[in-house]
Structure 1
Amino acid sequence: MKTKKISSNVKSSKKKTHPFWSFFWLTFLFVSLWYAWYSFYAPSNNIVWENNIESAQKLASNSDKNIMIFFTAEWCSPCRIMKRQVFADKEVTKAISEKVVTVEIDMDDPNAKALVKQYNIGATPTTIFINPQGKVMDYAVGKVEKAKFLEMLLSI
């Protein structure tokens, strides 16, 4: 009985990828990294943010202004986009300084739990306009575009 010897010289065949795919994945990586950076980038602006509602109420009463409370979080990408597209705009900054005292509340701050519960905040960003006594005048849940924000701000 003859036994055939099977050759163990099996060549591993590596297919060379088409240059298109290398370009595609490199471009995909670049665009993904750029978008991640862009989503969390928020330029500085000239808005003075209070972080205490009591001091904001005193300041609003003394200056005959209402209060804008902006509920945000470090991880909130739409909040960052709103800060970049709305709050960094010069027209918005001017209107804010004339009309309201601004308060920025971090949803993850344990000291903010009472305020979050008081205004029944369930999502970020949430923008609430109140009078100095705390009565809600207008609000928006989610990212607000510049035109809508100015409309809300000028109507209070």
Structure 2
Amino acid sequence: MPKKFIDIIKEDKPVLVDFFAEWCGPCKIMSPILKEVKESLGDRITILKIDVDKNQALASEYNVRGVPTLILFQKGVIKWKESGLMQKTELIEKIIRHQN
């Protein structure tokens, strides 16, 4: 049985959630950047992609107003949230700075 969103974001390990949409140009640019971030950080982070069109209630719950929106969770707590494109080095730096 797959883990539920709420269970994943409550883990000790930081969880970066990418709220995106299929029709969103910047989201398409962000996708390979997130792959590079995962390659760089490996098992130190979990990255989840949430399609806002298929998960409107979840996007609304976390006040996602635009895509892409990245939210970093750790132990169920929002550590950092930002919308828009970001470069790999900037994103890794923010993840490291905001985790416990």
- Whether TM-score is above 0.5 comes out as yes
- The answer for unaligned runs of 5 or more in structure 2 is none
Higher strand share: 2
CA contact (8 A) 1:125 1:142 kept: yes
Matched, 1:106 2:31: no
CA shift at 1:131, angstroms? 1.5
CA shift at 1:52, angstroms? 4.4
Partner of 1:54: 6
- The answer for unaligned runs of 5 or more in structure 1 is 1-49
Picking from 23, 42, 47, the partner of 1:75 is 23
Where has structure 1 moved over 6 Å in runs of 4 or more? none
CA contact (8 A) 1:125 1:143 kept: yes
CA shift at 1:55, angstroms? 4.3
Greater relative contact order (Cα < 8 A, sep 6+) = 2
Partner of 1:138: 80
TM score, norm. by length of structure 1: 0.55
Q: Would you say how many aligned residue pairs link Structure 1 and Structure 2?
A: 97
Structure 1 residues 128 and 57 mapped into 2: Cα distance closer, same or farther (>3 Å)? closer
Bigger-Rg structure (1/2): 1
RMSD: 2.1
- Matches of 1:77 and 1:143, distance apart in 2: 10
